[in-house]
């Protein structure tokens, strides 16, 4: 039995008003052509094309991906950061998706690990408009993925999907406590990953911090 057959079975069950789909860790998105929106213009962006080749290998410790997860009807946002080699995941709830709030949260999350921040890769959302401030505070370089190319930050996208198990889509983030945010982060960081030889991101990250 392949995983694709299982997903198809669940999809058919949902069409028949079944509830199996509710047990999926992540929903399966369906993309349609012609629904893309124009990318925001961000000044002085550094393209992912200029990013060091070593980042693509995921063998160097200290290369991060950044994104935001939105709450219901502008009820706030969650800044998410993921270290590519260890899959270590950091999250912080902010009042809005504004560039000011996202920039402040990013610096607060990464400052304790400043010595282990070589690069940060973002999408083209306007919340990253103050990327120069992030780069200066952390002494790093922020690179921007190509528009509509979420796979270039695939590790972070995957962890954001796991986060939705604890903070479902459509959640009013004003009702989400800091305790709940930290609980979700701990659970995700202590979840064994196949790509880490079934070790936990939190354990591998701590090991790398000691030797790097």
Domain membership flag for residue 116: yes
Give me the sign of the Cα torsion angle 168, 123, 152, 52.
negative
Q: How confident is the model at residue 8 (pLDDT cuts 50, 70, 90)?
A: confident
The answer to whether residue 140 is domain-embedded is yes
Within-domain flag for 40: no
CA dihedral 109, 111, 117, 123 (to 10 degrees): 40
164's tokens: 């939705």
Q: How many domains does the chain have?
A: 1
From CA 103, how far away is CA 114, in angstroms rounded? Answer: 15
Kindly report whether the global pTM for this prediction surpasses the value 0.85: no
Q: Is residue 20 part of a domain?
A: no
Per the structure, the complete domain to which residue 198 belongs is given by 48-211
Q: How confident is the model at residue 151 (pLDDT cuts 50, 70, 90)?
A: very high
Backbone angles phi, psi at 47, to 5 degrees: -70, 150
Mean pLDDT of 37-45: 72
Helix (H) or strand (E) holding 184: helix 178-189
Task: Report helix, strand or coil for 64.
Answer: strand
164-210 pLDDT tens trace: 999 999 999 999 999 999 999 999 999 999 999 999 999 999 999 99
| SS3 of residue 58 by DSSP | coil
- The answer to whether residues 42 and 124 touch, using CB atoms and an 8 Å cutoff, is yes
Within a domain: residue 76?
yes
User: Which one has a higher pLDDT value, 33 or 184?
Assistant: 184
Report d(CA 134, CA 125) in Å as an integer.
Answer: 15
Asked whether residue 15 is domain-assigned, the answer is no
Whether residue 80 contacts residue 64, with contact meaning beta carbons closer than 8 Å, is answered with no
How close are the terminal C-alpha atoms of the chain, in Å? 43
CATH number at residue 139: 3.30.420.10
Domain assignment present for 14: no
């Amino acid at each position: 039995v392949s995983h694709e057959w299982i997903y198809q079975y669940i999809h058919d069950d949902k069409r028949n008003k079944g509830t199996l789909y509710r047990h999926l860790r992540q929903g399966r998105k369906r993309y349609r052509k012609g629904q893309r929106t124009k990318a925001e213009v961000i000044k002085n962006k550094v393209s992912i094309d200029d990013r060091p080749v070593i980042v693509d290998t995921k063998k160097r410790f200290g290369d991060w991906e950044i994104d935001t997860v939105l709450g219901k009807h502008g009820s706030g946002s969650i800044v998410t950061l993921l270290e590519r080699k260890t899959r270590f995941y950091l999250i912080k709830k902010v009042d809005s998706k504004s560039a000011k709030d996202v920039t402040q949260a990013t610096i607060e999350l990464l400052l304790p690990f400043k010595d282990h921040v070589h690069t940060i890769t973002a999408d083209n959302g306007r919340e990253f408009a103050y990327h120069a401030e992030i780069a200066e505070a952390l002494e790093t370089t922020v690179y921007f993925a190509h528009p509509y190319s979420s796979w270039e930050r695939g590790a972070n996208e995957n962890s954001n999907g796991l986060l939705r198990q604890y903070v479902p889509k459509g959640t009013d983030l004003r009702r989400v406590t800091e305790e709940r945010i930290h609980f979700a982060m701990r659970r995700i960081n202590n979840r064994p990953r196949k790509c880490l030889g079934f070790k936990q991101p939190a354990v591998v990250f701590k090991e790398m911090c000691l030797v790097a």
